[in-house]
Structure 1
């Protein structure tokens, strides 16, 4: 670093409260919103930020970290000796190869491009493998470099407008698969390159289903960037729905399903914003779409289906921080009906969050264990799960501490 470089504000030895204020401001979050998310008063937040109150105990620190979407706990605490990743999981061993394939621009090639039908068949098998695999990132990470290369080649060698549009659809769908692999890994810029390239390819494809999937993933990326990006998430979601809705009467099940998934995404963002009425209104609208789909239908990318709506209800309640309602929805949902192992694990994590909100830490840890059994690579990269495990590792109950510690070791958060 040059000697005249100015260090960032979070690199200075500043107090916890100052760090909290900087991170809150960067997220575009008001004190009122943060106070509501962590269950404290606005004056409490102000006193912590102003240094009148000392750093709270670990459970509250973890709740603040969750609300602010802190990727590493040291960003908030300032303790660089104990770096604990929260919303960024460990870098997967296959991330360098996937990154290299995404970043490559092969202007020439001595290979013949595969047909679009061949690419589409490989993508179908890739999604099937992902849903069936407990180590889904390993499985997908092994497939992606070849898929990216071949889909790029198919676009470059397309000889007609229709062939090029079909190849762009396959390329966009490949980037969608990439986003599932890259999410929650320590390379945010790579994630956004994939999101943007996937959307550009989808627009070039002029295919409604491909456009819907790319928009669904872009909305998630915006929402996960924090409250300052909720409007961008809503914009892409609602604009895509306006485009799709006139097509729905004659649309395939896949197009109708992506429209339903987008309706739920609008509800998810509303729940993050704390707007319960809007969140449940969109959930009801998504349910209406799901009920018109075949009973056994399951969207290969979004998991949208009749079976997933119970899981979506749990997510809405949890994001609204409604503990009792979350548990009520947990009881009503049927996790066994979800055929995808990673999606079932994600649902189990949402269940655990509900139990934690309702003051049932034993049930939360037991449910996280079920998530681990379903798909270890889902829970290992999930910030909410990691936060619950860390919090329970400080429990007053020896049995809870032991159980949380064992799970932390399995997740790679603690040395064995």
Structure 2
């Protein structure tokens, strides 16, 4: 394997300082050093060999010492949401208005940040989301929820809590995800706005399914989808929301091994998708392509890999490219699982590499993807493949 250039320790200190959103004066103060000292360290002008000082920097930056002394470890960490960021989300969920009752935020402050993080999520820039989401969660709770903008505020708050729930589920913090989803439901229920409530219900249904409440998850999602029926003629997003609720229920049914219910929910969603144009992408990403993606995912979970691949063959490459990176990568990973299940590890590696090209953080930073990489490494066909070993090395996965 080719040797990589070793990154100076000062550059790693700068990277983690910026990722933790600390100024130089703040970090310098935390380690009892001057700002000019830190500037020289970050610029590589002052060597940093004292282990005690390095450990103090690591503590101040909430990282393992190895992440400052090992460039390879930092490269792997750059594509992974870490424990400090999950803690930040947890702490933000523990914030309540009574803590700072006089500090109000405006929609003009909050909405642009929420939109940027929503776009980052769709592009699988999860580290960016993890970095800024805690501050956003506190800010949305500081919005004034009464007055003419009350419904808008509720929808903004629900979207932020949903983003937190999705992040936490992706990194297997299921109970904390349930808290974020429940917070969204409380907002949606208080608002009296069925659209806000439906968006929150999507998160609650997913959180329930990951916390041992699968049957309740399905019932909740389907009931909310039915409740939206009268709104489909007056709210543009009502039909796509109905569809996404049914797709969430389909995946839960598949995880339970209930093929009949999963198929019934798929057919209902597919019927709705026929009325959705793929040329105008909805906020939910609902449409025929996403319905097919979810069907592949369901069939993989039902241990019907051949059928999953057959559905995949009906999706045109052009349709795949129109989907956001997060959706594309997840789809490729499902295809990789199906191919590995039928004994085609080399083809599975191809789909894994497609996923990595679409969204490196989806492949290199998530526990579920790491499991797939390890299983491919254990196969005779792929275990010595340089592409796979390089990917594993960059992701910090033992080859």
The answer to whether TM tops 0.5 is yes
Equivalent in the alignment of 2:312: 330
Equivalent in the alignment of 1:312: 294
The answer to whether structure 1 residue 170 and structure 2 residue 130 are counterparts is no
Question: Per the alignment, in what secondary structure is the counterpart of residue 307 of structure 1?
Answer: helix
Equivalent in the alignment of 2:218: 234
Q: 1:395 to 1:402 in 2, by over 3 A?
A: farther
Indicate if the aligned counterparts of 2:166 and 2:177 stay in contact, CA closer than 8 A.
Answer: no
* Among candidates 375, 389, 396, match of residue 391 of structure 1: 375
Indicate if the aligned counterparts of 2:254 and 2:301 stay in contact, CA closer than 8 A.
Answer: yes
Equivalent in the alignment of 2:21: none
Pairwise CA distance, 1:185: 2.7
Q: 1:259 to 1:127 in 2, by over 3 A?
A: same
Aligned-partner Cα distance in 2 for 1:244–1:400: 52
The answer to whether structure 1 residue 114 and structure 2 residue 106 are counterparts is yes
* Among candidates 196, 212, 216, match of residue 198 of structure 2: 212
Gaps of 5+ in 1: 1-88
Question: Per the alignment, in what secondary structure is the counterpart of residue 413 of structure 1?
Answer: coil
* Among candidates 273, 297, 320, match of residue 256 of structure 2: 273
Pairwise CA distance, 1:203: 1.1
The answer to whether structure 1 residue 153 and structure 2 residue 142 are counterparts is yes
Instruction: Give the paired residue count.
Output: 317
What TM-score do you get using the length of structure 2 for normalisation? 0.72
The answer to whether structure 1 residue 290 and structure 2 residue 273 are counterparts is yes
Q: 1:366 to 1:110 in 2, by over 3 A?
A: same
Equivalent in the alignment of 1:221: 207
Pairwise CA distance, 1:373: 1.5
RMSD across aligned positions (CA)? 2.5
Question: Per the alignment, in what secondary structure is the counterpart of residue 409 of structure 1?
Answer: helix
Pairwise CA distance, 1:168: 2.5
Pairwise CA distance, 1:398: 6.5
Pairwise CA distance, 1:383: 4.5
The answer to whether structure 1 residue 139 and structure 2 residue 125 are counterparts is no
What TM-score do you get using the length of structure 1 for normalisation? 0.69
Pairwise CA distance, 1:309: 2.2
Q: 1:109 to 1:139 in 2, by over 3 A?
A: same
Q: 1:392 to 1:158 in 2, by over 3 A?
A: closer
Pairwise CA distance, 1:250: 2.8
Equivalent in the alignment of 2:328: 344
The correspondence of residues 177-192 of structure 1 with structure 2, limited to 5 A, is: 177-185=163-171, 187-192=173-178
